[in-house]
Amino acid sequence: MIGTSPEKTPTIVFQQSDADDYLMVTGTGGQKDLDWENVILTFTDTCTVSWNVNASVDSGESCPAGNITAGDKITFEVLSDSIEVTMVWEPTNGLIGSWKFT
């Protein structure tokens, strides 16, 4: 389409708590109307993932729908020694970030 630019991967900033095994959104770079359902979450080992909205997600699936806002929290119940978590913005297949929990 003329006059439009391709979608870009948003900048979503997280605070990681290795002690409590969670990621919390601290900012979205001023971007609005970002939806969790556009985020693909993968992890390297078995774990239970819970959302601040009491939903869960399996590795490789889209996250539960809802606006991404500061304070959103994703908790990982790590069932092994460690896991690596990766988030990808599905519309662009762009990396949002990756984290390791031990």
Number of separate domains in the chain: 1
Domain assignment present for residue 5? The answer is no
Domain assignment present for residue 81? The answer is yes
Q: Residue 68 — pLDDT band, cuts 50, 70, 90? A: very high
Rounded CA gap, 96 and 28, in Å? 11
Domain assignment present for residue 7? The answer is no
- Residue 58's pLDDT is 77
Among 13-17, 52-56, 59-63, which stretch is predicted with the lowest mean pLDDT? 52-56
| Segments forming the whole domain that contains residue 39 | 13-97
Domain assignment present for residue 63? The answer is yes
54-79: b or e for each residue (b if 16 or more CB lie within 10 Å)?
A: eeebebeeebbeeebeeebbbbbebe
Higher-pLDDT residue of 96, 18 = 96
Rounded CA gap, 9 and 93, in Å? 8
Domain assignment present for residue 44? The answer is yes
Domain assignment present for residue 71? The answer is yes
Domain assignment present for residue 2? The answer is no
Mean pLDDT, residues 40-62 taken together:
76
Domain assignment present for residue 6? The answer is no
